[in-house]
Structure 1
Amino acid sequence: MGWDCFLLLLSFFLFLTNTTFQLEDQTKKLHKDMKKSTEADLAMSKAAVKISADLLSNPLCEQDQAFLETMTALDTSMKRMDAFNQEKVSQIQKTVIDPLKKYGGVFPSLNMAVKRREQALQDYKRLQSKVEKYEEKEKTGPAMVKLHQAREELRPVREDFEAKNKQLLDEMPKFYHSRIDYFQPSFEALIRAQVVYFTEMYKVFSELTDQIDQAGLTDEQRERETEAKLSELRALSIVADD
Structure 2
Amino acid sequence: QQPKPYLIGYNQDKNTDQTKKLHKDMKKSTEADIAMSKAAVKISGDLLSNPLCEQDQAFLDSMTALDTAMKRMDSFNQEKVNQISKTVIDPLKKYSGVFPSLNMAVKRREQALQDYRRLQSKVEKYEEKEKTGPIMVKLHQAREELRPVREDFEAKNKQLLDEMPKFYHSRIDYFQPSFEALIRAQVVYFTEMHKIFSELTDQIDQAGMTDEQRERENEAKLNELRALSIVADD
TM range (shorter): over 0.9
Please name the residue that 1:179 is paired with: 171
232-241 vs 87-96, which moves further: 232-241
Number of corresponding residues: 234
Q: Which SS does the other structure have where 2:4 is aligned?
A: helix
| Structure 1 residue 120 corresponds to structure 2 residue 112 | yes
Please name the residue that 1:238 is paired with: 230
Deviation at 1:204, TM superposition (A): 0.3
Q: CA RMSD in A?
A: 1.3
Tell me the distance in 1 between the aligned counterparts of 2:218 and 2:173: 54
Please name the residue that 2:57 is paired with: 65
Tell me the distance in 2 between the aligned counterparts of 1:236 and 1:166: 87
The match for 2:73 among 72, 75, 81 is 81
Q: Which SS does the other structure have where 1:203 is aligned?
A: helix
The match for 2:214 among 202, 215, 222 is 222
Deviation at 1:241, TM superposition (A): 2.1
- C-alpha deviations, 1:159-187, integer Å up to 9, x for none? 10011011001110110100000100000
Please name the residue that 2:84 is paired with: 92
Structure 1: which amino acid aligns with 2:135? Answer: A
Alignment of 1:183-202 (within 5 A): 183-202=175-194
Assess if the C-alpha contact under 8 Å between 2:44 and 2:70 holds in 1. Answer: yes
Runs of 4+ residues deviating >4 angstroms:
none
| Structure 1 residue 107 corresponds to structure 2 residue 89 | no
Identical-residue share of aligned pairs (%): 87
Alignment of 1:33-72 (within 5 A): 33-72=25-64
Tell me the distance in 2 between the aligned counterparts of 1:47 and 1:125: 63
Structure 2 gaps of 5+ residues are: none
Structure 2: which amino acid aligns with 1:27? Answer: T
Deviation at 1:139, TM superposition (A): 1.0
Deviation at 1:240, TM superposition (A): 3.2
Structure 1: which amino acid aligns with 2:130? Answer: E
- C-alpha deviations, 1:201-223, integer Å up to 9, x for none? 00000000000001110111001
- C-alpha deviations, 1:37-65, integer Å up to 9, x for none? 00100010000000100110111111111
Tell me the distance in 2 between the aligned counterparts of 1:225 and 1:144: 104
Tell me the distance in 1 between the aligned counterparts of 2:215 and 2:129: 96
Structure 1: which amino acid aligns with 2:108? Answer: R
Normalising by structure 2, we get a TM-score of: 0.97
Tell me the distance in 2 between the aligned counterparts of 1:80 and 1:125: 67
Normalising by structure 1, we get a TM-score of: 0.94
Q: Larger % of helix: which?
A: 1
Please name the residue that 2:128 is paired with: 136
Please name the residue that 1:28 is paired with: 20
Structure 1 gaps of 5+ residues are: none
